[in-house]
Amino acid sequence: MGYIMELRRAAGSRPLIMTGACVILINNDKEILLQLRKDNDCWGLAGGSLEIGETLEQAAKRELLEETGLMANKLELFNVYSGENFYYKYPHGDEVYNVISAYVCSDYEGIMTSEASEVKELSFFKLNELPQNINPPDSPILSEYIRSALFQGVLREFEK
């Protein structure tokens, strides 16, 4: 049983501060990998909760591998998120205030396979063609990443 599940047994569905990590995985075509989650039928980033003794980078790599079958060779910290915008109530009633370390990965290997108990589907999307139903805690992360990617593209054009 994982750490969060043990806390849930004691705390019930009351709000918990949940520390975790997610991965913004980018392929060679500059598309982003999203997973269609089974719990809320929304598209989101691979990621999850930190386990006891684990680093945030280890959690990001573990969750990516578990949920997608892909192994990150290199992760780059993008940003750390917390606060009111990262409150989330799961469909089954558990409440959390997320503290999320988001990593970017474009150096990975493996064969993409979805984790059957959590993931309905895995798909790469162009940054300007993301689905409408984005997982609420992932939405601000994706928005910031897209703004950053667009800004970097503008800078490259400006430097030419």
**Catalytic residue IDs:** 121
**Pick from 68, 72, 79, 50: nearest CA to 143:** 79
Q: Output the DSSP codes for 35-88.
A: EEETTTS-EE-EEEEPPTT--HHHHHHHHHHHHHSEEEEEEEEEEEE-SGGGEE
What is the spatial distance between Cα 35 and Cα 17, in angstroms, rounded to a whole number? 24
Could you give the C-alpha distances from 160 to 28, 38, 89, 150, 156, in angstroms and in order? 22, 45, 47, 16, 7
